[in-house]
Structure formats: C-alpha cells, structure tokens
Amino acid sequence: MCGIIGYTGPRKTTSVLLEGLRRLEYRGYDSAGIAVGGGDYGGRPLGIVKQVGKIAALKAAMPADLEGSWGIGHTRWATHGGVTQANAHPHTGGAGKIAVVHNGIIENHHALKSMLEKKGYAFVSETDSEVIPHLIAEYYKGDLLEAVVAAIQNLEGTYGIAVVHADEPGRIVGARNGSPLVVGVGAGEMFLASDVTAMVAYTDKVVYLNDGEIVDIRRDHYDILDREERKVDKRVDQITWELGSIEKGEFTCHMEKEIFEQPESIARALSGRLDLENATAKLGGLNLERRRLSSIGRVKVIAAGTSWHAGLVGSQLLEQVARIPAQSEMASEVRYRNPVVEKDSLWFTVSQSGETADSLYAMREIQRKGATVLGICNVVGSTIARESDGGIYVHSGPEIAVASTKAFTSQLAAFYLFTLLMARMRDMSREEGLKFLAELQAVPAMVGEVLKRRDLIQTIAKKYCGAKDFLFLGRGMLYPIALEGALKLKEISYIHAEGCSAGEMKHGPIALVSPEVPSVFLVSDDYLRAKTISNMREIKARGGPIIAVGVEGDAEAAALADDFIPVPKADPRFYPFSMIVPLQLLAYFCAVELGRDVDQPRNLAKSVTVE
Ligand code: G6P
C-alpha cells in the first residue's frame, strides 16, 4: 500500500526522497510525487513534482535543478480517485505552503470536504486525502504540530501522514492511525517512512510509531507525542537488514532472486530452533508457558493471500501430526462474522509484512474477545508482530517482489516447528520426533534440488504461456499448494488460473477442461496418490493437457502427464515445500515470456494497509 518517505538533513533531499521511493515502490506504483522546501521554486512556496506511473517516470519528470533541504514523497496505490496527476500525492493546502502525503482511507472525507468547501477551500483532486492539507490550513496559526494535532481530531478512518509547511524549514510532522510510520534516526538528519526499507541505506536506527502517536521531526531532534499530546519516550530499535538483502544482485528481478534464495531463507527460519536432544522445536518468542501450551484444544489461523495458504497447510499439518483441531480462515471474513473465541483456542495471524489491514483488524477483534494471538511475521517491528501476544519471526529477510515466495516457505517452516513442538507435548514419540526433525533439516537441500529444474520449467512455461486458463489441482496438504500455484500465476502473468481440490474437480471445474486449458497436478506418493492419478485420467480422457509435479521415479504419473517435473522423494508431509517451488518458477517464467512486470504486477501492492 502507498509508500511514504520524509527527509530532513544535509544530503540532497530530492535524491534521498527518490531513492526512498524507489525502495518503497513495491507498496504501490500507479503514481508518485515529492514536495521539497528551502529552494527557489519560481515563486511557489514548495517545489512539487507529481507524475503518473512508476518512480522512473517521476525521476524523468524532475527538473534538474529542483532541490531542497527537507521534504516528503509518496508512491501511490489508488483507493479513492483514478490514477491521475491531480490525484497523486503530495496534496497541498494553505496557498500551496502545506504539503501532505497520506496512506490509508479517510472515511468521513465527504462530510469534511463539504464543510471545507463551504468555508471556501477549493479541491483539485478526487481523493479522500486532500481534506487533510485543507484541514491543517484551517487550524494553522504558525505552528505545524499544533495544526496537525487539531486537524487529525476530525479524521475518521486510517492514516499515516507526513506533513511539511514552507514557513517551517526542516520540520516534518507525522501522525499514525492504522497505517504504519517509522522514524529513522541519523546523525544530524532524520527520516520518516512507511517502512524501514526506504531508509535502510542511510540509517539502521528506527523508532516504530504506534496508532495515535504523532511525531515532530527536525534534523537533529524528534519528539513523539501520544493521543493526549504527552511526550513519550520510545525505544530506538536497530535494524539488522543489510542493504545487499534488498538489492537484486545478479538476478534480473527480485522475485527470481527470492525464489532462488529459498534454501537459505528456509534454513534461517529453522536456525537455532531444532532441539535435537529432546527431539522437539525451540520457539522462544511464543510467550506461552508449557502448561498453557499443553492445554490448547484448537488452533485458528487468520491471514490473507499467500499467508492464508501457508495457514491452510499449517492447519492440516497440526491436525494430522499433532492431532489438534485447526482451521485457517481469511482474515477479511473473520472480522465481520463475530467469531466465537473458545477459551482453549490459540490463534495465529500470519503476515509477511505484519501490516495487512484485514489481518491486523481481525487480530484486534479476536484479542478484544480475550483470545491469545501469536504472530507469524517476517517484518521485525511490524504492527502485527508488536501487537500480537507472542509469535514466530520467519527471518526470510526482506521480500521485495509483490508476489510472495520465500516468505511463504518460511511461514511453512514456522508451522512445521510449532507442530513438532505441540506433537511432542502430546502423542509423538521421541523417535518420531527425531524423524520429523531430520526431514525438516533436509528441506533446504530438497528445495535446492528442485531449483535445479529451472531449465525444464522454463521450457514448459514457454510451451503453455499462451493459454488463457489454467487449473491447479492437488489433494490434502497439496490442495493449498494448488491454490498458491494458481495465485502466483494470476498475480504475475495475468493468466486466469483456478486452484481446486483434485477431488472436487469433477463437481464443476472439469467443465473447463479442453485442449486449450492445461491442468497442473500435484501428485504425492502417499495414500492420496491413486485418487489423484484417477483425476489425471479423467482430465486426459477429455483431451486436457497435463503438467504434473510428482515424485522422482513415479513412472505412471510421468507417463500420464504431457510434461512432468520431478521433486526428490521425501516424507509426504514435506512435499508442500518442494512442490510449491516448480509452481513459483512456472508463474515466473510465464510472466517473463509474456513480458510482464514480474516484481510489480498491475493493480497489486505488497502490503495492503486498507480494508
Ligand atoms: C497482498 C499481497 C499478497 C500477500 C497479501 C498478504 O495482497 O499482494 O502477495 O499475500 O497481501 O500479505 P501479508 O503481508 O499479510 O502476508
């Protein structure tokens, strides 16, 4: 969702803002803009440039001599109002002296707009955000902080904002309610951004704002105030990400890099968490005592998108291996259906970014009902990570491509660890625990083996990427993998794809089968294999082409399929790790063949901080 950056300090402000926006582009990329102060802007109080399209378009539109000594920038993912230059941020008020960038949705903007119009304020955009600079102008009496504090009392909805005023050089005021903001602390310079990625090149010291907090920033100083305008002392956190981890390196795009990084990212998720002596997992962040853990009667998982798919695999695993009833649901559904929170239930919120609004608000709702909620997050210090009652960081490292890959397999790793822990507290023997641990330890190498099929998968992608529709079919724990495979293909290649349970296929989706519609089958070698093979025959009989991802040596599946992608033989419970990788690569190569923008597919944003 929209990216925000603010900078005040001695560096070239325009360059810092543009560089920050480039790093934030994965949050939204339909238009962008900056506002800087302190220079000569031909009679205008602030230097403002906005452009439809990506950051490269903004860069190209930038007058060479536009500079300033402080400023703010924004990359947009449109919610209210089309993708136009007028709707791009920053929005201005107070005769062009006030500039605001906003992430979130102002729900009462209609009422505010008509109130402000009656007072003579003229609106130039169709956005909800434009009410903010006019409101600030309405309250401005010479102090930006006071005006922002007064203006936000009127706002209903969600916001992360950064505000500057031409008459207050070097000052940036930020406020947060529902959309993330982080202060970057430098020596003689300060940053404000929607996430740390924007400033990791300049500082590793950050302060995360909470909802209701306001920050008043100058180059060598910042103050954070709470809702009651009392100063709050907050911890300065150290970011451990290195700049290299958000660069593409030798790869052509971030998604390719992130797919190929999975042996290492999964190993990181497991690192230090395998207790070989006791044949269990060590998860220090759960914040739950052994007695509480052993009394858990059911597990509920809430998440969105790819993280939801990880939750679906995790729930099946928990039921199968630890014999705990478990369910995974879309967070956007849970929040509004007044969920029952049983006393013995443990909830998980899974979120790569830790900022997804649907997941965050659903989590708050069930916490309000007394539930204990653990987070499975990647971004350290993110809102879900901070507001959950404990959790498991997945340590994938920064994931920049919009389509999630390495975070997914690390989320799976977190569920496998938690399952082992729970199973060992119940019926799983030490021997079984050791076997499970050995399989888990072997996952990075197994994924590494699958990645060697790169050329084969590229050839298959070339053969099928002209198809308009795809089916992805799997059973049991491979059903969520079919959903995830279909999602990956849709997201980045724009080919329509449906993920179905292979068993359910005959109850409807089979009507789609034709020589033009390829079916991608996931074939395990467990008790469900024979059923899946029958489903493949049903497709074959109707002339549908078949791509099968199956176990090495499965001659029958290979013969039935038009194209076969083998994965190493393993304990079938671990195939979700190895079988998702060919589907990630298939989507990637189809998108490349079709000339799509792999890292920034149309209409999507990496982290959706509105409902
Ligand atoms: C967005 C992204 C998806 C992602 C989902 C959940 O829709 O485009 O790729 O899976 O959000 O994100 P989260 O950060 O909560 O895992």
pLDDT tens string 420-454? 999 999 999 999 999 999 999 999 999 999 999 99
> How many whole angstroms from 373 Cα to the centroid of ligand 1?
19
> Which among 356, 396, 488 is the best mutation to test ligand 1's pocket, defined by most ligand atoms within 8 Å of the CB?
356
The Cα angle at residue 146 between residues 142 and 148, in degrees rounded to 5:
105
Average pLDDT for 238-249: 76
> Does 389 score more than 70 pLDDT?
yes
pLDDT tens string 333-344? 998 888 999 999
Q: Six-digit token pair at 399?
A: 């994931």
Q: Which atom of ligand 1 is nearest to the CA of 404?
A: 9
Q: Which atom of ligand 1 is nearest to the CA of 384?
A: 15
Residues involved in catalysis: 2, 606
In short, whether 27's Cβ falls inside 6 Å of ligand 1 is no
Q: Six-digit token pair at 566?
A: 């083998």
In short, whether 483's Cβ falls inside 6 Å of ligand 1 is no
Task: Give the CA diameter of the chain.
Answer: 79
Phi (first) and psi of residue 370, to 5 degrees: 95, 5
> How many whole angstroms from 340 Cα to the centroid of ligand 1?
25
Residue labelled with tokens 């789609």: 512
Q: What is the pLDDT of residue 250?
A: 85
> What share of the chain has pLDDT > 70, as a percent?
99
In short, whether 125's Cβ falls inside 6 Å of ligand 1 is no
In short, whether 518's Cβ falls inside 6 Å of ligand 1 is no
Average pLDDT for 476-486: 98
In short, whether 197's Cβ falls inside 6 Å of ligand 1 is no
Average pLDDT for 75-90: 87
Q: Which atom of ligand 1 is nearest to the CA of 353?
A: 14
pLDDT band at 193 (very low <50, low <70, confident <90, very high): very high
Which residue's CA lies nearest to atom 11 of ligand 1? Answer: 607
Mean pLDDT estimate for the chain: 94
Q: Six-digit token pair at 174?
A: 């930020």
Q: Cα(307)–Cα(315) distance, rounded to whole angstroms? A: 12
> How many whole angstroms from 128 Cα to the centroid of ligand 1?
24
| pTM score, whole prediction | 0.86
Which residue's CA lies nearest to atom 4 of ligand 1? Answer: 305
**CB neighbour class for 229 (10 Å; exposed up to 12, middle 13-18, buried from 19):** exposed
Q: Which atom of ligand 1 is nearest to the CA of 487?
A: 9
pLDDT band at 115 (very low <50, low <70, confident <90, very high): very high
Which neighbouring-strand residues pair with 501? 474
In short, whether 359's Cβ falls inside 6 Å of ligand 1 is yes
Q: Cα(502)–Cα(510) distance, rounded to whole angstroms? A: 10
> Does 388 score more than 80 pLDDT?
yes
Which residue's CA lies nearest to atom 9 of ligand 1? Answer: 403
Q: What is the pLDDT of residue 506?
A: 87
In short, whether 356's Cβ falls inside 6 Å of ligand 1 is yes
In short, whether 1's Cβ falls inside 6 Å of ligand 1 is no
In short, whether 177's Cβ falls inside 6 Å of ligand 1 is no
> What share of the chain has pLDDT > 90, as a percent?
85
pLDDT tens string 353-362? 999 999 999 9
Average pLDDT for 186-213: 93
> How many whole angstroms from 9 Cα to the centroid of ligand 1?
34
> How many whole angstroms from 415 Cα to the centroid of ligand 1?
18
Average pLDDT for 188-215: 94
What is the sign, positive or negative, of the torsion defined by CA atoms of 334, 266, 548, 526? negative
Q: Cα(125)–Cα(75) distance, rounded to whole angstroms? A: 16
Average pLDDT for 397-424: 96
In short, whether 349's Cβ falls inside 6 Å of ligand 1 is no
Between residues 400 and 607, which one has the greater pLDDT?
400
pLDDT tens string 18-32? 999 998 887 778 899
Average pLDDT for 525-545: 94
Average pLDDT for 80-88: 87
Q: Six-digit token pair at 99?
A: 């500039």
> Which among 25, 328, 404, 410 is the best mutation to test ligand 1's pocket, defined by most ligand atoms within 8 Å of the CB?
404
Q: What is the pLDDT of residue 1?
A: 65
- Going by DSSP bridges, is the β-strand pair 31-37/546-551 parallel, antiparallel, or unpaired? unpaired
Cβ atoms of 450 and 567 closer than 8 Å: yes
Q: What is the 3 state secondary structure string of 383-424?
A: HHHHHCCEEEECCCCCCCCCCCCHHHHHHHHHHHHHHHHHHH
Q: What is the pLDDT of residue 77?
A: 83
SS3 370: coil
Q: Cα(539)–Cα(196) distance, rounded to whole angstroms? A: 48
- Spatial CA neighbour of 369 closest among 416, 394, 420, 335: 335
Between residues 457 and 246, which one has the greater pLDDT?
457
Q: What is the pLDDT of residue 27?
A: 72
Average pLDDT for 587-608: 90
Q: What is the pLDDT of residue 297?
A: 96
- Spatial CA neighbour of 497 closest among 537, 533, 468: 468
Q: Which atom of ligand 1 is nearest to the CA of 407?
A: 16
Which residue's CA lies nearest to atom 13 of ligand 1? Answer: 351
In short, whether 352's Cβ falls inside 6 Å of ligand 1 is yes
Average pLDDT for 122-132: 95
pLDDT band at 367 (very low <50, low <70, confident <90, very high): very high
